[in-house]
Amino acid sequence: MSRIRDVLLPRAEMGPMLDGFGRRVSYLRLSVTDRCDLRCSYCMPERMRFLPRSEVLSLEELHRLALGFIARGVSKIRVTGGEPLVRRDIVDLFRALGRELGKGLEELTLTTNATQLADHADDLAAAGVRRVNVSLDTRNRRRFEELSRRDMLPQVLDGIAAAKAAGLKVKINTVALKGINQGEIADLIAWAHGEGFDLTLIEVMPLGDVGHDRVDHFLPLTHVRDDLARRWTLTPLSDSTGGPARYCRVEETGGRLGMITPLTSNFCDGCNRLRVTATGQLYPCLGGAERVDLRAALRSEEPDASLQHALDEAMRIKPERHHFDISHRGAEPAQPRHMSVTGG
């Protein structure tokens, strides 16, 4: 039983969120922690300094915040991190949000590295989660340890198997990395499709200082697609899951392949997303510095009204697009904050 109490908000007076470019925001990526039990080299340095726990929103605050977004037309919430499943009692939040399904919320999902997923898959399914995105860049144990700086591939694969057994739909997210997993991408796709999983490839994003130059590992997905097209028949699809991926079907495997291309093919024109950090900072754009402090709103004397005013401000400042660039050596990250801080 969830220990988070339901909160009633005056939804009838609240309209949907529209930004200055006419885009309707209906998708929230809600980070519950910046902590992670892996240290993937493209995401963070080995000696990552995490936020003090005192700065992180409580589960009750995260729940109240999510309800405020649902009241404004958000129909899909993805819980993210860091690694969300390392947070104590996180299933309580899923249970509380799951009670909103069919009452404005249409989909509740999470992104995870799957190291803890075997312990939580059944509870997540019972809470109303139907789909999980699993970040997995290699199935080679030595390469996984080198990339993540942790020898945890067996736990990840056990977590994926547990999710499948629990009836959760699994999508694999793979960051394409030149010189690291480039030669394994086709095999990863074939494995995922053989398991009945979609797989989405992602270009590495220039967020946060990771101690090395990302240009060394940037692999344009235009090149990857050309390589795959020499091996397989790729049929474009009009499918959309609410995110930035563009899909094709691999005819020989029968599976679906997505590509997220923040650098080689900007996808911002249809952006319907907002990201909130575990400290309650709302970033209207992953690649932008614009932000609104929702924690201050939640802790004000009139939290519901302050929250709605903050969401209106977020719509006002949401930029048209990001400006990621990994075109030359020595370039500064697009933003100093790491991906684990903003949430995937």
From the annotation, which residues make up the binding site for S-adenosyl-L-methionine?
A: 42, 82, 135, 205
Distance between first and last Cα of the chain? 28
Per DSSP, what are the bridge partners of residue 101? 105
Beta-carbon count within 10 A of 297 CB: 23
Name beta bridge partners: 258. 200, 247
Q: How far is residue 312's CA from residue 135's CA, in Å, rounded to a whole number?
A: 32
Sign of CA dihedral 270, 272, 276, 281: positive
Binding-site entries: 29, 36, 40, 42-43, 78, 82, 111, 135, 171, 205, 268, 271, 273-275, 285
Tokens of 101: 């399904």
What residue has token string 């009692």? Answer: 89
Cα 181 to the chain's mean position, in Å? 21
- Going through the chain in order, the beta strands assigned E by DSSP cover 17-18, 24-25, 27-31, 76-80, 107-112, 131-135, 169-176, 198-203, 234-236, 246-250, 255-260, 273-276, 281-283, 292-293
Cis omega (within 30 of 0) for bond into 68: no
- List the structure tokens of 10: 């005056």
Helix (H) or strand (E) holding 142: helix 141-148
Q: Enumerate the known binding-site residues for GTP.
A: 29, 78, 111, 171, 273-275
* β-pair type (246-250, 234-236): antiparallel
- Residue 287 to residues 113, 184, 310, Cα–Cα distance (Å): 22, 28, 20
H-assigned helices in 45-108: 59-71, 90-98
Q: Residue ranges for the binding site for [4Fe-4S] cluster?
A: 36, 40, 43, 268, 271, 285
Q: Is residue 108 within 8 Å of residue 98, measured between CB atoms? A: yes
